[in-house]
Amino acid sequence: MSLAESLQRVIQDLEEAGGIAIVGMDGIVVEEQKRDSRIDLQVIGAEFGGLFKSAGMLSESVEFGAVSELMTITDRSVVMLRRVTAEYFLILVIRPDGNLGKARFLLRRAGSQLKTEL
């Protein structure tokens, strides 16, 4: 399954998903799929990529280990990040009333599939 197909499967399986992207740790989007054209995954990737790195450094400094997942819940969206490899992570943006459990499951499944592709 290609990168685009793996991402599209999450969008299809999660009605409340607005967009998903595979992003390098440098913040550059490698592939994206969107349901909501207003979501700018390029900007989200760059900004949340820095946040993901900072959270990882903080976690390591207090000896909690590597960060595998990070979630930000706002009034208008939920942004979920999941590490795929040391160099790549997934970003999923969903509506705030979305099914977080299902979203986390689908993100984990996509991450496992993409690990072999990257």
- Nearest-angstrom CA–CA distance, 87 and 93: 20
State whether residue 38 is helix, strand or coil: coil
pTM for the model: 0.91
The predicted structure's pLDDT at residue 116 = 81
- Kindly write down the DSSP assignment for every residue of 75-108, as one continuous string: SS-EEEEEE-SSSEEEEEEE-TTS-HHHHHHHHH
pLDDT top residue among 1 and 30 = 30
17 strand-pairing partners:
94
Number of structural domains found in the chain: 1
Mean pLDDT for the stretch of residues 90-100: 95
Residue 68 belongs to domain with CATH number: 3.30.450.30
The predicted structure's pLDDT at residue 118 = 75
Task: Give the range of the structural domain holding residue 64, as residue numbers without chain letter.
Answer: 3-117
Mean pLDDT of the chain: 92
The predicted structure's pLDDT at residue 93 = 97
Q: How do residues 24-64 score in pLDDT, each as one tens digit?
A: 988 899 999 999 999 999 999 999 888 888 888 889 889 99
- Torsional class of 67: left (φ above 0), alpha (ψ -120 to 50), beta (otherwise): beta
